[in-house]
A and B are shown apart, each in its own frame.
Chain A
Amino acid sequence: MDASSTPRIVYRHRLFTRLWHWLNALAVLILIPSGLMIFNAHPRLYWGHFGANFDHAWLELPRFPGWVTIPSYYSLSGARHWHLFFALVLGFGLLAYMIASLVNRHFQRDLRIRGRELRPRALWNDFKAHLALRFHDPEAPAAYNIFQKLSYAFVIFVLIPLLIVSGLALSPGMWPWLADLFGGRQSARSVHFIAMAGMTLFLVVHLALVILAGPFNEVRAMVTGWWRVPEDEA
């Protein structure tokens, strides 16, 4: 049989990466809507150590509607139940994933960014390839492209840790220096909100690219680990 007519299947995602991906997806998809409900209790953001109704708010929003919040009816206590449970899932999930990814060398093998990938010409070529909806290097179809690496590394090492730390900084029972790190408790609350908006943006772009890259093949790979190399790139 001719090699080019046989679909090439490659093992792309290790078991732990897949488990964490779906657990984390669940956590984020509950944390964002329940967080929006918590925000609804006081939809104003401030900078500094304090901030209440009479103080200057840098952002004031109308309340988020019930179809984007958990619960869908107004309940601060109910939203906190969801948010504080899945905050533990997010935090300990990330910790376990990081340990496993150091041990199984997922970080070194798949996420390591090499200098040559960051050269302007390489970035430009990859950008043009994205516009042409070519997301994989024919030479190494299982590898992530540089924009995947940069965005995944940013989410894993910057955005999620920032969400966790800024969230903890809101607790009156935590170390005071945690809130000081952000310049005050209300600054930490603002950073928590901005990081949430960043996470939402990542989610939208991520899902759009999954759809453009072939949703069935991409989702199957994230479930089974096995990914079929698109024929025009094989």
Chain B
Amino acid sequence: MITRRTLIVGTGASLLTGCDSLTNSPTLLSAEDAHRFLQRSVTGRAGLARQFRPEQRSPIFRVNGTHHPNTPEYNAHANNRFVDWRLRVDGLVARPLSLSLAQIQTMPQRAQITRHDCVEGWSAIGKWQGPRLETILQLAGIRDTARYLVFHCADRLGSQPYYESIDLIDAFHPQTILAWSMNDATLSVGHGAPVRLRVERQLGYKHAKYVMRIEAVASLAGIGAGKGGYWEDSNGYEWYAGI
């Protein structure tokens, strides 16, 4: 029997199901470029994310995403306190680098207390320290043809390796660092040891943990499924995560 309630709920549900089929339409997805353009137009390319005082930090900073890469290669590095681990910087650079953790720790450092905004809605505040990405890119001598940086990570989700990418505007942003320290301690495995990306004006899924290799590229095509990151490829998340 069709009651008024099932009719109303049913009509509403079929309208919503109609919406479902449009969810990944190119028109809807075009909003991403509009937001990126508008945000960078109003805040400026180098506008800083909010920084906080030490007492404003979250009492507990939750671990999200991968808690432990748990691959034989990563476990060997972790057991050895990452002394044999090297960060590779290659692709469209003049001088490919192979940096030890000690080298990363002795470069000019930047420390900042910032807010980590997860795409899900929660936030946590913590202190991060490491060299600016710009410092490393200057050492490597990034080529004019490079447009993006791809961060290849040690963890896998399902069968896919985690990776992320940012453009050069974010790469040279003053707050973009390769953090090896969190809250004045060496980065824990849960938070991305030995180094993780901090790209403060974007959402949490851009802040790649367990970074093994940074590759400068002219295009994101051919890397993963070509959308610029693990979550972008697998779930359709926006590549620009500033909103």
Contacts and interface: CB of A to CB of B under 8 A. Distances in A.
Interface string B10-43: 0011001101100110011111101100011011
Contacts, number: 144
Nearest to B234: A77
B236 A78 contact: yes
Contact of B50 (A41, A66, A180): A180
A84 interface: yes
Nearest to A168: B243
Contacts of A84: 31-32, 35, 238, 243
Contacts of A1: none
B55 to A, nearest CB: 11
A53 interface: yes
Given A49-B115, A69-B16, A173 B202 contact: yes
A67 B13 CA distance: 5
Contacts of B94: none
A53 B202 CA distance: 21
B221 to A, nearest CB: 21
27 contacts: A30-B19, A41-B120, A41-B121, A49-B50, A49-B56, A51-B122, A52-B61, A52-B118, A54-B60, A70-B19, A71-B19, A71-B23, A75-B23, A77-B238, A80-B238, A84-B243, A170-B117, A171-B243, A172-B115, A172-B203, A172-B243, A173-B49, A174-B43, A176-B48, A185-B123, A186-B123, A189-B121
Interface of B: 9, 12-13, 16-17, 19-20, 23-24, 27-32, 34-35, 39-40, 42-43, 47-50, 52, 56, 58-62, 115, 117-125, 200-203, 231, 235-238, 241-243
Interface of A: 30, 33, 38-39, 41-42, 44, 49-55, 66-73, 75-78, 80-82, 84-85, 87-88, 168, 170-176, 179-180, 185-186, 189
